[in-house]
Amino acid sequence: MASEEIPDSWREALEPVLQTPEARRLGGWLRAEEDAGKVIYPPRGSRLAALAATPLPQVRVVILGQDPYHGPGQAHGLSFSVQDGVKQPPSLVNIFKELESDLGIARPATGNLMPWAKQGVLLLNNTLTVEAGQAGSHAGRGWDAITDAAVEAVATSGEPTVFVLWGSHARKKAGRVKGLGAGDHHLVLTSPHPSPLSAHSGFFGSKPFSQANAFLEANGRGSIDWAL
């Protein structure tokens, strides 16, 4: 993990876990995979980009997915997001379909979700790297402890926060929020993943965007402008 700069606001929460043998093994394994010629997304230096984009004190919503996009040029460190000019992946298309159904916001031309991140939406995945073309390939390699620590840092920060957990891997983190004693003043929204494989099983119609804004407004934290 030496190539990843821990953003200052997250340092106290993450440094202890990043110093563990498990995290060191993860860093060594990633380097070995790349040295063996495997392509890993997102590239080095952007694997903690979600934390850099959304400082801990500013987090109002956490959107948690499974792992990064595994196609070339897609993943850039924010869950579900792609850079300007990159074709929107099917999961993101479905997110935008639900956004339009929920709030009447037409599908944007860009798939870059950085404007959400800058408003306090932490766009995190359960696992922060993936091998090219191999969805889920880095699950169980050590990222869980790191993303658990990030979720716990938000949950214990004292501010009412919305946790949007999409997919079975993300939903496992619900206990990290509710089991900390501080979970009672948060809103936890869970649904199937927006992937075409599962979106019709309860993601569509889940209305996460309007529910998040209603909760934030009721708790004096303003609302998110979900338009891009």
Model pLDDT, residue 78:
98
- Where does 149-221 show beta strands of DSSP type E? 162-166, 187-191
> Which residues are the active-site residues?
67
Taking the C-alpha atoms of residue 70 and residue 139, their distance in angstroms, rounded to an integer, is 13
**Any idea of the CA torsion for 45, 51, 53, 55, to the nearest 10 degrees?**
-140
Model pLDDT, residue 185:
86
Pure H helices in 76-113 = 90-103
Taking the C-alpha atoms of residue 93 and residue 78, their distance in angstroms, rounded to an integer, is 16
Around Cβ 138, how many Cβ atoms within 10 Å?
A: 23
Per residue of the chain (228 residues), what is the pLDDT tens digit? 555 788 999 999 999 999 999 999 999 999 999 999 999 999 999 999 999 999 999 999 999 999 999 999 999 999 999 999 999 999 999 999 999 999 999 999 999 999 999 999 999 999 999 999 999 999 999 999 999 999 999 999 889 999 999 998 888 888 878 655 445 789 999 999 999 999 999 999 999 999 999 999 999 999 999 999
- The Cα diameter of the chain in Å comes to 52
Check: CB of residue 55 under 8 Å from CB of residue 39. no
Model pLDDT, residue 70:
97
Its pTM stands at: 0.95
Which tokens in the block code for residue 158? 């004292």
Taking the C-alpha atoms of residue 4 and residue 50, their distance in angstroms, rounded to an integer, is 12
- Peptide bond just before 42 cis, omega within 30 deg: yes
